């Protein structure tokens, strides 16, 4: 009996350690509908769903596939009843799935924007049409982002046409079948498409996206109770659009996308501390137009398009425990002096066992200076810097004991 008990405890310890320390991607069965990009996804219970989108032959689809996470298998379900489309939105409210909006042609100049919204019942494998989206004067929108807070769905941004964009935030209540205009997104390029949004603890977090070819990396919090926006710490990767994002354990996970090149980097955001953490790059490679959903505290990410073409592969993400649970507060171990600075200034790191790359960014998020593997005290020459506000970003290099991204403000006189 004692021997069996010891083995059981060893197994529990192993599984617990695996979950706590893991920050990894596990390859799963490829998406059942073949190669696909700009599809939509949602999850209900222990099942995930992917539908619509554009395949490798640039054909638009209206199929829906169910993923069983327990058996790692895909099963085709009842087709989406609206027209085939790409860049729609998908979400879950009260154990029902929803798909709507989008555009019905691979070429935006030849397509028609869609405003319809449909409800999927997994118990009966049937669809029910809901109230049309009234934003953009009811003429439809595509490339928007959607997320859910307290059984209300929210839709933000998107394309009104090939070169016109929206900054509107709308809510949809499936129980009453009503849409309500909420607010205008406040970013510098506030009208944008391909942005990303997640709901965490009753608040919305929205950012990134593009306006024409002007990629963005700003990050905003919207308080539904006070109807106010608060600027948060910028997304630490490059400005981009076409990302994936989901919420796990009260954190936002954001990554992939396109910034002129296809990205595979991945980050965790803690809204309580307003900090970002570097996570393991997506194992499937860089891409945009992928989809994601969450089942049982694991993230699932797949499909999309890379420089080598449209993708079918599909991965499970193991987050482990939140990154700053056992993290030192490195922010208080970094100082910048003098600040404000009229001449050169120094970045000092108290614990130089952690290796960082230093970036200096202007208020537009552009990197104006970069130094790798900085030492304990690094002097920055301000000769070519115009007066103004700058941000020092310290990114931990690989194989170091920290993954916290530290940001400090410096004023150049």
Helices and strands counted in the chain (H then E): 1, 37
Confidence grade of residue 287 (pLDDT, cut at 50, 70, 90): very high
% of the chain surpassing 90 pLDDT: 69
Rounded to whole angstroms, the Cα distance separating 36 from 305 reads: 8
For residue 217, tell me if it sits in a domain: yes
The pLDDT value recorded for residue 15 is 35
- Say yes or no: 222 and 368 in one domain: no
Report how many domains make up the chain: 2
Nearest to 220 by CA among 249, 242, 198, 239: 198
For residue 347, tell me if it sits in a domain: yes
51-86 burial: b if 16+ Cβ within 10 Å, else e: bbbbbeeeebbbbbbbbebeeeebeebeebebbbbb
- Say yes or no: 259 and 372 in one domain: no
- Say yes or no: 57 and 172 in one domain: yes
For residue 241, tell me if it sits in a domain: yes
Confidence grade of residue 180 (pLDDT, cut at 50, 70, 90): very high
- Say yes or no: 274 and 385 in one domain: no
The pLDDT value recorded for residue 382 is 85
For residue 326, tell me if it sits in a domain: no
For residue 8, tell me if it sits in a domain: no
CATH number of the domain to which 272 belongs: 2.120.10.80
Rounded to whole angstroms, the Cα distance separating 191 from 182 reads: 15
Domain ranges, residue 383: 334-412
- Say yes or no: 301 and 363 in one domain: no
- Say yes or no: 276 and 341 in one domain: no
Over the stretch 322-344, which tens digit does the pLDDT of each residue have? 555 444 444 447 888 899 888 89
- Say yes or no: 305 and 354 in one domain: no
- Say yes or no: 365 and 309 in one domain: no
pLDDT, average across residues 86-97: 99
Domain-ending residue, one of 283, 318, 353: 318
The conformation of residue 236, written as its DSSP 8-state character, comes to S
For residue 6, tell me if it sits in a domain: no
Domain-ending residue, one of 289, 318, 347: 318
- Say yes or no: 169 and 197 in one domain: yes
Mean pLDDT (the chain, rounded) = 89
Nearest to 228 by CA among 251, 204, 211, 195: 204
- Say yes or no: 291 and 353 in one domain: no
For residue 323, tell me if it sits in a domain: no
The neighbouring-strand residues paired with 369 are 360
- Say yes or no: 400 and 312 in one domain: no
Q: Which residue has the tokens 């609206």?
A: 82
- Say yes or no: 340 and 389 in one domain: yes
Comparing 46-55, 203-212, 330-339, which segment has the lowest mean pLDDT? 330-339
For residue 33, tell me if it sits in a domain: yes
CATH number of the domain to which 405 belongs: 2.60.40.3080
Confidence grade of residue 17 (pLDDT, cut at 50, 70, 90): very low
Domain-ending residue, one of 261, 286, 318: 318
> Considering the entire predicted model, what is its pTM?
0.80
Spatial contact of 26 and 298, defined as CB atoms under 8 Å apart = no
């Amino acid at each position: 009996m004692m021997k069996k008990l010891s083995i059981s405890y060893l197994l529990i310890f192993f599984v617990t350690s695996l979950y706590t320390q893991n920050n990894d991607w596990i390859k799963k069965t490829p998406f059942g509908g073949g190669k696909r990009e700009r599809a939509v996804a949602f999850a209900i219970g222990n099942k995930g769903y992917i539908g619509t989108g554009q395949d490798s032959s640039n054909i638009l689809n209206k199929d829906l596939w169910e993923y069983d996470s327990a058996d790692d298998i895909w099963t085709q379900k009842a087709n989406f009843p609206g027209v085939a489309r790409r860049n729609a939105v998908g979400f879950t409210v009260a154990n029902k799935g929803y798909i709507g909006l989008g555009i019905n042609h691979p070429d935006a100049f030849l397509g028609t924007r869609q405003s319809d919204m449909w409800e999927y019942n997994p118990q009966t494998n049937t669809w029910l049409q809901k109230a049309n989206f009234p934003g953009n004067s009811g003429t439809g929108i595509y490339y928007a982002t959607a997320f859910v807070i307290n059984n209300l769905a929210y839709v933000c941004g998107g394309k009104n046409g090939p070169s016109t964009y929206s900054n509107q935030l709308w809510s949809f209540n499936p129980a009453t079948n009503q849409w309500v205009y909420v607010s205008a997104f406040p970013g510098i390029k506030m009208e944008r498409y391909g942005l990303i949004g997640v709901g965490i603890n009753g608040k919305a977090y929205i950012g990134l996206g593009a306006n024409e070819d002007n990629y963005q990396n700003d990050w905003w919090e919207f308080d539904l109770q006070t109807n106010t926006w608060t600027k948060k710490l910028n997304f630490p990767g490059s400005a981009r659009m076409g990302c994936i994002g989901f919420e796990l354990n009260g954190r936002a996970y954001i990554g992939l996308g396109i910034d002129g090149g296809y990205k595979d980097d991945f980050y965790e955001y803690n809204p309580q501390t307003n900090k970002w953490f570097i996570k393991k790059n997506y194992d499937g490679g860089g891409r945009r137009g992928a989809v994601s959903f969450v089942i049982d505290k694991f993230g699932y990410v797949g499909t999309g398009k890379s420089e080598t073409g449209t993708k079918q592969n599909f991965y499970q993400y193991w987050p482990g425990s939140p990154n700053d649970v056992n993290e030192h507060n490195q922010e208080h171990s970094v100082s910048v002096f003098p600040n404000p600075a009229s001449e050169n200034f120094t970045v000092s790191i108290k614990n130089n066992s952690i290796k960082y790359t230093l970036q200096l960014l202007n208020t537009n998020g552009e990197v104006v200076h970069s130094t790798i593997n900085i030492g304990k005290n690094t002097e920055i020459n301000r000769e070519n810097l115009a007066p103004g506000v700058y941000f020092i970003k310290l990114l931990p290099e690989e194989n170091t004991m920290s993954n916290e991204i530290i940001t400090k403000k410096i004023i150049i006189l």
